[in-house]
């Protein structure tokens, strides 16, 4: 953690000390009063909720200071208050200062899908050789990224940071806080179309990470994604392409799927090849691994350095986790999020796995704008065409998924539709038979994880 005196914090945030000794030291920083720990400095962020309303709670939980932009009651005795013009800007300025005081390389990762998985894979591949800080969870926005940087310590050599966005300009703002030495673009897909007129505009927003990359930096790009290739064409720095094509610098060849054990393939890396075991089902995760391998190459690691880590990688919670239940039922918990490309990858990746029946439990995909009906219709067609036996749709948009499945040959008695996950959970349990494979996937707002928890309680895991 950064260890900063109160007077230095006031200087770097352009604030004024209203209360507290200038020699007070802070090494923990927070914006959520519910998670406040003793000794922390609390930033009262003004957003959907006004953080100033939660300052008393933060002090109650042990905060030793707060940064504010509004008039507030005095802090408890011995605690500190700094007043600034804008608490969010002050958080970001302090994080930028802390980064400038540490000799670390910044890895910035963006893309429509796979940011978190690529970040985790990257950290796993490089951590035996570098002391690396990584974003926690999906801390990838204007709040999460600076909070991550405030955890930098002298020992750190690398910072692996997600850079997400839902509007133009957001990634540019993140690169202004932490300009990447290595920038990764995993893919560009129809996500957040509620906020963009077209996927072309999404691509331009993702391009901001390249525009913010350091002059001598490296771009790690998906060589099989046409839009990524397009926005990367005029990148003048070092470039590493990853994918499944012969011309890619990082490439997977001779892919073999090994049922529930994942897949094996030849990893081609800097003119060398090595066969590796990768314990994941989806091709999309293979791309995430290749992206992470591209980062390793940018950091001058060798194939023999990273290959041993690959077989040790594990799925992350709610992102394609295999849960073995009683009666030899296999449950794939992919309920963290959903969008058209990620759903297609899941349906395709699981279709070949051995099972008595395959049951797709699909919550609505959100933030798809004017094409939401079409995307759900196409998802239903994919369920039918990939040979899934039952479809359980959840939410108002799933009626289009049902129509798509029917149009491609699924029968009415193979399809069920529910308004929410609680109702669907009861039905799914009643339908299950021995040796079934169940995929549970939906956008976070659909709370499909409740279905997973219900099934785990009803059918004890092995």
Residue range(s) of every CATH 3.40.1190.10 domain in the chain: 102-310
In 3D space, the residue among 380, 260, 410 whose CA is nearest the CA of residue 332 turns out to be 260
Q: Please give the average per-residue pLDDT across 51-58, as a whole number.
A: 95
pLDDT of residue 195: 80
Under the banding of pLDDT at 50, 70 and 90, the label for residue 92 is: very high
Determine the Cα–Cα distance for residues 330 and 91; give it in Å rounded to an integer.
45
Q: Please name the helix (run of DSSP H) or strand (run of DSSP E) that holds residue 439, with its range, or none.
A: strand 437-441
pLDDT at 291 exceeding the cut of 60? yes
> H helices within 178-218, ranges in order?
199-211
Residues 6+ apart with CB under 8 A from 335: 318, 363, 440, 441, 442, 444, 448, 449, 451, 452
pLDDT score at 53 = 95
| Structure-token pair, residue 340 | 């058209």
305-335: per-residue pLDDT in tens? 999 999 999 887 778 889 999 999 999 999 9
**What's the CATH code, domain 102-310?**
3.40.1190.10
Task: Label residue 196 by pLDDT band (50, 70, 90).
Answer: confident
Distance CA 199, CA 342 (A): 16
Residue 52, Cβ neighbours under 10 Å: how many? 17
CATH of domain 4-85: 3.40.1390.10
For 444-461, write each residue's pLDDT tens digit. Answer: 889 999 999 999 998 876
Place 297 in a pLDDT band, splitting at 50, 70 and 90.
Answer: very high
Domain formed by 321-458, architecture: Alpha-Beta Complex (3.90)
- Give the pLDDT of residue 462: 54
**Residues 146-179 pLDDT 10s:** 999 999 999 999 999 999 998 899 999 999 999 9
Per residue, the 3-state secondary structure of 133-155, as one string, reads EECCCCCCCCCHHHHHHCCCCCC
Strand partners, 221: 185, 241
| pLDDT (0 to 100) of residue 192 | 73
State yes or no: pLDDT of 403 exceeds 60.
Answer: yes
For residues 114 and 187, is the Cβ–Cβ distance under 8 A?
A: yes
**Residues forming CATH 3.40.1390.10 domain(s) in the chain:** 4-85
Contact (CB, 8 A) for 184 and 235: no
Angstrom distance (rounded) from CA 391 to CA 401: 9
CB burial of residue 92 (10 Å; 0-12, 13-18, 19+): buried
In the chain, the percentage of residues whose pLDDT exceeds 90 is: 84
* Every domain range in the chain assigned CATH 3.90.190.20: 321-458
The 3-state DSSP class for residue 110 equals strand
Using an 8 Å Cβ cutoff, are 174 and 147 in contact? no
Query: Residue 131 is encoded by which pair of tokens?
Result: 């002391």
């Amino acid at each position: 953690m950064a260890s900063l005196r109160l007077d230095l914090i006031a200087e770097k945030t352009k604030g004024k000390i209203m209360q507290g000794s200038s020699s007070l030291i802070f090494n923990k920083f927070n914006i959520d009063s519910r998670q406040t720990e003793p000794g922390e400095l609390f930033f009262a962020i003004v957003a959907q909720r006004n953080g100033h309303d939660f300052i008393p709670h933060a002090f109650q939980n042990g905060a030793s200071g707060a940064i504010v932009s509004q008039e507030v009651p005095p802090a408890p005795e011995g605690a500190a208050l700094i007043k600034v013009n804008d608490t969010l800007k002050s958080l970001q300025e302090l994080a930028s200062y802390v980064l400038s005081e540490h000799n670390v390389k910044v890895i910035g990762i963006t893309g429509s899908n796979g940011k978190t998985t690529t970040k985790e894979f990257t950290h796993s591949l490089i951590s035996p050789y570098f002391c690396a800080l990584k974003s926690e969870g999906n801390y990838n926005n204007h709040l999460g990224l600076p909070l991550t940087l405030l955890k930098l310590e002298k020992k750190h050599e690398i910072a692996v940071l997600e850079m997400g966005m839902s509007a133009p300009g957001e990634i540019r703002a993140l690169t202004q806080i932490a300009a990447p030495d290595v920038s990764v673009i995993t893919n560009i897909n129809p996500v957040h179309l509620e906020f963009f007129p077209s996927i072309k505009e999404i691509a331009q927003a993702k391009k901001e990470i390249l525009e913010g990359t350091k002059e001598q930096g490296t771009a790690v790009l998906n060589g099989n994604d046409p839009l990524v290739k397009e926005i990367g064409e005029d990148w003048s720095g070092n470039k590493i392409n990853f994918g499944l094509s012969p011309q890619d610098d990082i490439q997977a060849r001779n892919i073999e799927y090994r049922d529930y054990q994942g897949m094996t393939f030849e990893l081609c890396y800097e003119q060398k090849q090595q066969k590796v075991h990768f314990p994941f089902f989806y091709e999309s995760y293979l791309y995430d691994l290749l992206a992470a391998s591209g980062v390793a190459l940018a950091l001058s690691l060798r194939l023999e350095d990273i290959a041993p880590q690959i077989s040790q990688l594990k799925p992350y919670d709610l992102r394609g986790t295999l849960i073995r239940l009683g009666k030899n039922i296999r449950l794939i918990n992919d309920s963290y999020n959903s969008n058209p490309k990620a759903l297609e990858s899941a349906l395709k990746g699981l279709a070949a796995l051995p099972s008595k029946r395959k049951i797709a439990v699909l919550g609505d995909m959100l933030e798809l704008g004017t094409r939401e009906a079409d995307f759900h219709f196409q998802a239903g067609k994919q369920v039918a065409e990939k040979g899934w036996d039952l479809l359980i749709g959840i939410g108002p948009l799933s009626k289009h998924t049902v129509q798509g499945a029917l149009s491609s040959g699924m029968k009415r008695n193979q399809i069920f539709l529910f308004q929410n996950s609680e109702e669907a959970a009861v039905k799914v349990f009643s339908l299950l038979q021995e040796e079934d494979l169940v995929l549970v996937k939906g956008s976070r707002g659909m709370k499909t994880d409740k279905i997973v928890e219900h099934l785990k309680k009803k059918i004890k895991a092995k």
